[in-house]
A and B are shown apart, each in its own frame.
Chain A
Amino acid sequence: MSRTGARPLALLAALTSGALLVSGCGSNGAAPAQGGAAAPVQGGSLTYATDVEPISFDIHVSQQDITGAIQRNVFDSLVHQDASGEFQPWLATSWEIAPDLKSYTFHLRDGVKFTDGTPFDAQAVKVNFDRIVAKETKSQYAASLLGPYTGTEVIDPHTVKVRFSEPFAPFLQAASTAYLGFYSPRTIQDNGSKLGAGGPADVGTGPFVFTSYTKGQSVVLSRNPDYNWAPGGAAHQGPAYLDKLTIRFLTEDSVRLGALNSGQVQVADPIPPTDVKTVQADSRLKVLSTDAPGANYALVLNTTKAPLDDPQVRKAVQRGIDLDTDVKSVYFGVFKRAWSPVSPTTPYYDKALENSWPYDPAVANKTLDDAGWTARDSAGYRTKDGHRLTLEWPLPPAEYVREQRDTLGQAIQADLKKVGIEVTRPRQDIGTYIANVYGGKEHIADYSWARFDPDVLRLYFNSSSQPAKGGQNATFYQDAQLDQWTDAGKATFDKTVRQDVYTKTQQRAIDLGLIVPLYVRTSVVGYSTQVHGLSADPNTWLSFHDAWIGK
């Protein structure tokens, strides 16, 4: 969640963080990256190069993917969400959910210790959750995961009850993320304000210990020899195989790739689409591709701003973009074009939407004719009552544009020009950009939001999810059915109900032309064939607990 994960205002989720920082194998979470019958080798060290460096290492504060991805190796959660979306025991061996979904009781695993020797118990859960919501923590993300949290009750040393002021079904999923991981209560007390700086003060229960951090260069983690509480479904129990895990920050794509090619790092993440073929062609290297869960990168159409208040114009935009060609040519076939607001790896993805709204300039032209945009001006753009059919889609500063989305934008501009729609892309500074897009002053916004839960549809389409209040609905559309369905999906664990409401939501969002899904974000990691057992969680973050170095 956050950055790659749930990012409440995903405008940047989409834009800033590097392409999916960590990724997994195939599209399945915990599958081993490499088969082979060889027995795992104990020891050795692995260097992993990534492109983004955390701003804050504090999991309770940070909203960055990279923070969650690195700290996932240091901090454990109450439950683990497996690749199929089911919850497995982790620090909690079992749990009960009150029928009104307003409280969750967790039975904690016995014998779990933080790496400073403090036992993990009910009090530790309470101290951590209370810290997340405390005002002084200034949580940018974790606090939103706790939602309507009212408190944690210590029932006995191994039982806690977490309470909410209203029904809160997303809690289990939230509790499985690294952002609701647990610091040793001792380090919270001694180093509470310094946890963001990284280093040995970040004490958790995870398979690795945070040994050191050199700003601008690297993080070093070392094995936690006492680790014996891997989540249900892990490939092995007991301590990690690797003695040492070094995370190097190599921002430049070419340098990261060169370091991988020359064997100076064993895992490089991400591999840009342009270089995937080169890595695949190298017999000493392998590639892991994982489709990100959550909302696809998409054009979000502002339905309150003319001419996009006319559903016919929105439909014309949907059908007037040759996405198959555009996505393929910009991303070399590495990213797939999208059909639904959510990606295929997201639970309750509606496969029926595939091929249901293909590129068809004839349909786009006819729809625009019907909507009254019949005249053309000297530049070839359609006009109505003397006004040109113009849509403004602002471009944020270059540092917020990733995955060559500006290039894809040019292809989209060219396609829409063919049906007579002018798309302008003024470059805006980030302050103006945020104010305009959040304020509903632009026609089009573009973003994605990775999260392993279809509840992301509520954040995109529920009318209460206003961008000005940390929401995500830049369509600004008010629809009783979308509200009802996405609220219902959030308030239940009933699979039939969720299947039903989320399928209907995906279809209606496309039918109403609220959104033009563009591509499925795919994280591509390159790694040496010496690396075995690399795996990822459903957020596509690499997990190094089962990884080992062979030949």
Chain B
Amino acid sequence: MTESGLTVPRLLRGVLRRLLGAFAVLLGAATVAFTALQLIPGDPVTVMLGPGTAATPEVKAQIRAQYGLDQPIAEQYLHYLGRLLTGDLGESYQLQRPVADLIGDQLRPTVQLALAALVLAVAMALVAAVATAGRRPALRAASSLAELLAASSPSYWIGILLLTAFSFQLRIFPVAGDQGLPALVLPAATLALPLAGVLAQVLREGLETALGQPFTLTARSRGLGRGAVLLRHALRHAAASAVTLAGWLSGTLLGGAVLVETVFGRPGIGALSLQGTTNKDMPLVIGVVLLSALVFVVISTVVDLLYLVIDPRLRST
């Protein structure tokens, strides 16, 4: 178990490879988004304005020219890639503001929500898994059922339920909005519960497998208590699969945010992407797609690095 595998050139090569991969993923996402938007039937400006518009053909032509929609598609695509390379995401058709600014403005509440949800989910999953792994079947079954319920309930429904109980009836938390910590609790819990349900199940499964391994017996025979074995030894083994899953799931937090932000009337990327999609606001939709691709790339990188921390075996060779 030497550290020699992590030499500098090797690390650099790894990082470079990952960067190239990330670039390819982003380019792919941008291209898919662009193509998908081209495939929407109907004139983009008409679709964008919706059927209830008083816009005259002249106004439509003006909009078309302003956004270069009168250019050939290949030219539009190249322009668009060119602008992306300079970090220019374009301007929202509907909101008439730069997409980068819009996303920048809405990023904080969503990141806050997602991080809070992630921390909450991991904490809940840890508590549930550690407390019930290898315990009496009745306790396990009860916990398992609760997890299954949490994991399979739509977040929309959980949100309404939590709101009804804690905001409308008990009036502990405000209904919604980005108004400090109290207003973050219910949306974060809504987003965290399904995540926690899945995580807890995987974690307990991993813990129980680990508890059945010979090293556990060894550790116990050295006089360690159950808790110490669980936390110091078994958890590390169980964590690998849970971290993979958590990484993947946190990528889906952005999708979950669409529902949660709508239900709770919170600002954020979710609400923004919903608005972009509903209004057929192409630059905005593409901006959000790129952001999600970026989030996935970053998370998968972080997860890979976490493996190295969790599992020393991966560090060699």
A residues sitting closer than 8 Å to B (CB atoms) are 2-3, 6-17, 53, 55-56, 63, 135-136, 138-141, 143-144, 193, 196-197, 214-218, 248-252, 254-255, 258-259, 261-262, 264-265, 396, 399-400, 429-435, 437-438, 469-470
User: With A and B bound together, what is the CA distance between A526 and B275 in angstroms?
Assistant: 26
Nearest Cβ on chain A to B294's Cβ, whole angstroms: 21
Contact B176 A12 (CB under 8 A): no
Q: Which of A2, A143, A218 contacts B177 (CB 8 A)?
A: A218
Nearest Cβ on chain A to B91's Cβ, whole angstroms: 10
Q: Other CB < 8 Å A-B pairs besides A217-B176, A429-B41, 16 of them?
A: A9-B51, A16-B50, A135-B58, A138-B62, A139-B55, A140-B55, A141-B53, A196-B95, A216-B106, A216-B265, A217-B267, A248-B176, A249-B265, A255-B163, A431-B42, A469-B56
Given known A-B contacts A255-B163, A435-B42, A216 and B56 have beta carbons under 8 A apart: no
Contact A140 B49 (CB under 8 A): yes
The contact sample of 30 A-B pairs, CB cut-off 8 A, is A6-B54, A11-B52, A12-B50, A16-B51, A55-B95, A56-B94, A56-B95, A63-B49, A140-B59, A215-B105, A215-B106, A215-B267, A216-B106, A216-B261, A216-B272, A217-B177, A217-B267, A250-B265, A252-B160, A252-B263, A254-B164, A255-B176, A255-B264, A262-B175, A429-B40, A431-B40, A431-B41, A432-B41, A433-B51, A434-B51
B226-267 CB mask vs A (1 if < 8 Å, else 0) is 000000000000000000000000000000000001111111
Q: Is B215 an interface residue (CB 8 A)?
A: no
Nearest first, the 6 A-B pairs at minimum CB distance are: A431-B42, A12-B52, A216-B267, A8-B54, A216-B271, A431-B41
> What are the residues of chain B within 8 A of A2 when measuring CB–CB?
54
> What are the residues of chain A within 8 A of B53 when measuring CB–CB?
7-9, 12, 63, 140-141, 470
Nearest Cβ on chain A to B99's Cβ, whole angstroms: 13
> What are the residues of chain B within 8 A of A470 when measuring CB–CB?
53-57
B26-34, B144-152, B165-173, B305-313 - the one binding chain A: B165-173
Contact A216 B54 (CB under 8 A): no
User: With A and B bound together, what is the CA distance between A469 and B58 in angstroms?
Assistant: 10
Contact A438 B51 (CB under 8 A): yes
> What are the residues of chain A within 8 A of B16 when measuring CB–CB?
none
Interface core residue of B53, B56, B106, B272 (most chain A CB under 10 Å):
B53
Contact B175 A9 (CB under 8 A): no
Contact B168 A258 (CB under 8 A): yes
> What are the residues of chain A within 8 A of B262 when measuring CB–CB?
251-252
Q: Is B174 an interface residue (CB 8 A)?
A: yes
> What are the residues of chain A within 8 A of B58 when measuring CB–CB?
135
Q: Which single residue of chain A is at the shortest CB-CB distance from B183?
A: A217
Q: Is B63 an interface residue (CB 8 A)?
A: yes
Q: Which of A10, A255, A435 contacts B160 (CB 8 A)?
A: A255
Q: Which of A255, A432, A437 contacts B265 (CB 8 A)?
A: A255
B166-214 residues at the A interface, CB under 8 angstroms: 167-169, 171, 174-178
B residues sitting closer than 8 Å to A (CB atoms) are 40-43, 46-47, 49-59, 62-63, 66, 94-97, 102, 105-106, 109, 160, 163-164, 167-169, 171, 174-178, 261-268, 271-272, 275, 278-280
Nearest Cβ on chain A to B287's Cβ, whole angstroms: 14
Q: Which single residue of chain A is at the shortest CB-CB distance from B179?
A: A217
> What are the residues of chain B within 8 A of A396 when measuring CB–CB?
51
Given known A-B contacts A216-B272, A264-B175, A144 and B56 have beta carbons under 8 A apart: yes
Q: Which of B43, B97, B177, B278 contacts A197 (CB 8 A)?
A: B97
Contact B174 A264 (CB under 8 A): yes
Q: Which of B51, B96, B97, B102 contacts A12 (CB 8 A)?
A: B51
Interface core residue of B41, B55, B102, B167 (most chain A CB under 10 Å):
B55
Interface core residue of B96, B105, B106, B178 (most chain A CB under 10 Å):
B96
Nearest Cβ on chain A to B272's Cβ, whole angstroms: 7
User: With A and B bound together, what is the CA distance between A224 and B103 in angstroms?
Assistant: 32
> What are the residues of chain A within 8 A of B164 when measuring CB–CB?
254, 258
Q: Which single residue of chain A is at the shortest CB-CB distance from B44?
A: A431
Contact A144 B54 (CB under 8 A): yes
Q: Which single residue of chain B is at the shortest CB-CB distance from A438?
A: B51
Nearest Cβ on chain A to B38's Cβ, whole angstroms: 12
> What are the residues of chain B within 8 A of A136 when measuring CB–CB?
62
Nearest Cβ on chain B to A398's Cβ, whole angstroms: 10
> What are the residues of chain A within 8 A of B263 when measuring CB–CB?
251-252, 255
Contact A16 B52 (CB under 8 A): yes
Given known A-B contacts A11-B51, A431-B43, A217 and B266 have beta carbons under 8 A apart: yes
User: With A and B bound together, what is the CA distance between A138 and B64 in angstroms?
Assistant: 11
Nearest Cβ on chain A to B21's Cβ, whole angstroms: 33
> What are the residues of chain B within 8 A of A252 when measuring CB–CB?
160, 262-263
Contact A7 B52 (CB under 8 A): yes
Contact B59 A138 (CB under 8 A): yes
> What are the residues of chain B within 8 A of A135 when measuring CB–CB?
58-59, 62
User: With A and B bound together, what is the CA distance between A429 and B262 in angstroms?
Assistant: 23
Contact A262 B41 (CB under 8 A): no
Contact A215 B272 (CB under 8 A): yes
User: With A and B bound together, what is the CA distance between A134 and B271 in angstroms?
Assistant: 32
Contact A216 B268 (CB under 8 A): yes
> What are the residues of chain B within 8 A of A249 when measuring CB–CB?
265
Q: Which single residue of chain B is at the shortest CB-CB distance from A1?
A: B54
> What are the residues of chain A within 8 A of B94 when measuring CB–CB?
55-56
> What are the residues of chain B within 8 A of A215 when measuring CB–CB?
102, 105-106, 267, 271-272
Nearest Cβ on chain B to A14's Cβ, whole angstroms: 8
Contact A437 B52 (CB under 8 A): no
Contact B174 A63 (CB under 8 A): no
User: With A and B bound together, what is the CA distance between A399 and B98 in angstroms?
Assistant: 25
Q: Which of B40, B261, B279 contacts A55 (CB 8 A)?
A: B279
Contact B163 A3 (CB under 8 A): no
Contact B52 A63 (CB under 8 A): yes
Contact B47 A217 (CB under 8 A): no
> What are the residues of chain B within 8 A of A250 when measuring CB–CB?
175-176, 265
Q: Which of A3, A53, A262 contacts B275 (CB 8 A)?
A: A53
